[in-house]
Amino acid sequence: MSTRFGVRWFAVSAKMLVVGRRPARALPSRYSGSERPIVTTTTTYPVQPLLSARRRWTVLAVCCLSMFLVGMDTTIVNVGLPAIGRGLSVGIHGLEWTVDAYTIVLASLLISSGALADRFGRRRVFQSGLMVFGAASMVCAVTPSVGALIAARAVQGVGASMLSPVALAIVVDAMPDPRERAQAIGVWASVFGLSMAVGPVTGGALVAGFGWRSLFWINAPVVVIALVLSAVFVPESRGSRTRRLDVLGQLLLTVVIGACVGVLIEGPRIGWASPAVLAGYGVAAMATVGFLSVESRHPEPLMDPGLFRNPLFNSAVLGAVAVFVALNVTLLLNTLYLQHARGVTPLAAGVATLPMAVGATVCAPWSGRLVGRTGPRPPLVLAGGFIIAGALCLVGIDRHTSVALLLFAYLLIGIGFGFANAPITNTAVSGLPPARAGVAGAITSTARQLGAALGIALAGGLVAHADPAGLAQASRPGWLLVASCGLLLLLTAHASRSRK
């Protein structure tokens, strides 16, 4: 009986396969005379076969390589900022724009890049992003002025926007099993945490050995390797339902992010009540109102306002912003404090963040396993608690704070960062249909990069006018800000308690 059933199943399957490959035919017509028969056509796409376990994890490794590149480039420049300032004769104000030109563009374009990938092919957009990122990195390495560097960093952000959410969508598509996907996201978060925390160490070594321009030359071999591996191992995939681009919404979102971050950067320098800053307030407010109006009326909005009625999705987005504000405030304050207030070398300033890298790397996979077993709440509670503890260690920082206390505080913050990413990413991806994985990853990544831009702007504003002797005291409110971000993660954990 089972043999006959198997033969019959094979025959039916083969017949369906053949029919699916034939051109569309006219249905038998019941009409006569000049009436034309009804013709139906069906567009069929080949179903992506399930990849082997080895191939799935190879795809994850390739995508993690690109994520490592994007994450490291977000922080590797931080430790080289004093050297860039000396080389191009620019102060902290210009250095903030060097970092935030990248993150503003990256944050603004992530959602559109995810939608483009769902429409035109994720591997194709992924590889295009690698090429743009690599070319812009080469321009950064040879730029003669800070203006050209800021412009090239913005183009780098365009390329990076095609990597982060698209790579996550590729991983989600390759991992159909929910438990395996949770483990993969844990690895993803581990690599991302490692890249963000290792960036300053790598940057310090490069600046000490080869100068600040090597911070950008280092991207070239990584881009080439990622391009080759993606061509060999990463299958092409698309969203099952593509959507139209929301061009007006994209432009307004860019204006909102750029205006808000610009006000935070320029306010301490030219005055919070200066005409330019007041104009910035107005532009940000009008762009925000316009963005909300456009998104509420657009049939396929860039950022669906209805998504933010979901408490779980809201908590993931707010948590992502908080984590990256805390991380970037920590990294920038560390760089300026150690190099300006204590006069240490870029390499030593980078090495000081090693405990942060270790904490993030060790705890991120553990966090992924916890999410798979217990849900997002326990790792979020741990993340918030460790970040608060690390920040409170440094609220009384001065020029003579012990190195042991600094390293211990960075370790605690790194552990918190490691625990945070997996539950935030998993919650955001699970909050949308699987076919919209590119959009889900893009929204979360947008929140991360917005947090990074805000963190740099806020930390830079605190110490912009401080001399080396007073820089430690000027940075103390920054550590209270980091502690507040940890508190927000605790609130995020409370909001996620209903998730099963």
pLDDT tens digits for range 48-80: 556 777 788 888 888 888 878 877 887 788 888
State the pLDDT at residue 13: 39
d(CA 197, CA 191): 10
State the pLDDT at residue 132: 94
Closest CA to 368 of 353, 355, 358, 378: 378
Residue appearing with tokens 């430690």: 472
Fill in the amino acid letter for 235: P
State the pLDDT at residue 433: 59
CB atoms near residue 344 (< 10 Å): 17
The ranges of the chain with pLDDT < 70 are 1-50, 186, 189-190, 192-193, 196-197, 239-243, 306-307, 429-442, 496-500
C-alpha to C-alpha distances, 21 to 18, 42, 236, 494, nearest whole angstrom: 5, 10, 20, 52
Q: Left, alpha or beta for 355 (phi > 0: left; psi -120 to 50: alpha)?
A: alpha
Contact (CB, 8 A) for 480 and 400: no
Q: In terms of pTM, does the model score above 0.75? A: yes
Contact (CB, 8 A) for 416 and 383: yes
